Amino acid sequence: MKLSRTSFALMATLLAGTALPTSANATVTVLGWPGGSEETALRATVETYNTQASDADKVELLFFNREGFYDKLQADMAAGSSAFDVNLVATYSLGRYAPYMEPIDLGADAAKVFGESVLKTMQFDGKQYGVPTDLSLHFMYYRKDLIDALIRDDAARKTYGEIAQKYLGKPLQPKDPDSWTWDDWGATALYFTKRVNPDSPVRYGTVLQMKNLLFNMMVFQSLPRSYGGDWMDKDGNVTVDSDAYRTGLELYKKLYDAGSSPKDSLSYEYAETNAAFASGQAATALQWNAAAADLTSTEKSPAVAEVTGIIAPPAGPDGRADHIHGLGLGLNKNAKNKEGAVKFLKWLATEDAALLYARSGGSPALSPDVVGKVAKERPDLVKLGEFASKYGYVMTGATSASALPVYELQAKEFTGYWSGQQSLEDALAHTKAGMQDLLKK
């Protein structure tokens, strides 16, 4: 009997020990975007917040893999998970997650920090669902030293012209990258390909992100967009089988088949592309703006930091186009610590927090007055605002609840074409049929 009483007491102590800390040390759990500059910036920002927050409001960060992130988030939120109080949300998935979130009031100052248009990237049905932490678009990164040398060297210019004629069927000449068309970029990529031009100082002309992954479709689609491509027309008909998409898909395949991009490009995404460009063995790379901090850092990318130029993606017949979307943090409807979560989100929307986030490597889209305060340390943020306003676009239908499955479908079908498993006609037909099915839902 004595033994069982002792056991009972021990068990009670054990249970109390596990239960009590939860109520006594309430914190705000934030589920962030893993693995990139967003994670680094959020960690640094939260560290500062925690030095001034009370114990009950301290923030704990939670990250899981980028792979399948939105699927896991959807399953968690649909199941009513309270494992996190604040969750990541993106412009293209806001409609999908809004039913599981609560709107928040960020106060009047938020508009002064971010500007109304940026706040709108986190609005759904007229309500604010999140603090816009990062604006994402794409930069064309290129090697200034290589392009300058090419433009100055007559023999190299001649070779460039011959390669352009042979592979693209066009008599092109090297030019300033800021005035590139996609053909100019393609010819440059071919010129700097060792397999095409054995005299190339680098192994590859570009780095194509061709893994079967939805984010890679966002990188790719600015090419067809600049040729007038869109997901749907005004009447809601799917138009993915347009000449614009054909041109874009064919150019990617041509470059990949010619060896202009690393052989494993079909397994490349953000991290692999950064590593390839930072190695100094690629002349260009169309990559997310988030990579700018790393690729221009002499510590992280010593081989290319001082010779990396940044421009908007090249132009097509319809001018330049740059995919744009916002990432932000919002309030989980089932949050355990809503009060603490709202406090953190409101603080995150202040100027001090936004500047801290920017200085820590994040990419917030800030109003001109605010961005001026970090322009010296983060010149890329100035470009971010400029490119977003001049060339930013969202495909028709790309904010619907089916946007992510559409990207998934395109990733599967387009990579099937690039890898030679199916014809262009089949890839476009499958994509069109799938999109019609998804977008009518």
Q: Which residues bind other proteins (CB under 8 A)?
A: 67-68, 71-72, 74-75, 78-79, 99, 210-213, 262-264, 266-267, 272, 275-276, 278-279, 281, 404-405, 408, 412-413, 415-422
Residue keyed to tokens 């998970």:
81
Q: How far is the CB of 276 from other proteins (least distance, A)?
A: 5
12 vs 78 by CB, closer to other proteins:
78
50 vs 267 by CB, closer to other proteins:
267
CA dist., res. 216 & res. 218, Å (int): 5
Q: How far is the CB of 68 from other proteins (least distance, A)?
A: 6
DSSP state of 349: T
176 vs 199 by CB, closer to other proteins:
199
Q: How far is the CB of 435 from other proteins (least distance, A)?
A: 13
Planar angle of CA 398, 353, 136, nearest 5 degrees = 25
Residue keyed to tokens 């904010």:
399
Q: SS3 for 408?
A: helix
CA dist., res. 224 & res. 248, Å (int): 5
Q: How far is the CB of 418 from other proteins (least distance, A)?
A: 7
72 vs 254 by CB, closer to other proteins:
72
CA dist., res. 188 & res. 206, Å (int): 9
C-beta of residue 311 within 8 angstroms of C-beta of residue 185: no
Q: How far is the CB of 407 from other proteins (least distance, A)?
A: 10
Planar angle of CA 176, 179, 183, nearest 5 degrees = 100
CA dist., res. 339 & res. 335, Å (int): 9
Angle of the 338-348 helix axis to the 37-52 helix axis, nearest 10: 110
129 vs 391 by CB, closer to other proteins:
129
19 vs 75 by CB, closer to other proteins:
75
The b/e string for 254-292 (b: 16+ C-beta within 10 A; e otherwise) is ebbebbbbbeebbebbbebbbebbbbbbbbbbbbbbbbb
Type of residue found at 298: T
As given in the structure block, the two tokens for residue 292 are 């700018």
As given in the structure block, the two tokens for residue 285 are 């790379």
Q: What is the largest CA-CA distance in the chain?
A: 98
Q: How far is the CB of 412 from other proteins (least distance, A)?
A: 5
Q: How far is the CB of 170 from other proteins (least distance, A)?
A: 29
83 vs 151 by CB, closer to other proteins:
83
C-beta of residue 56 within 8 angstroms of C-beta of residue 367: no
Q: How far is the CB of 266 from other proteins (least distance, A)?
A: 4
183 vs 408 by CB, closer to other proteins:
408
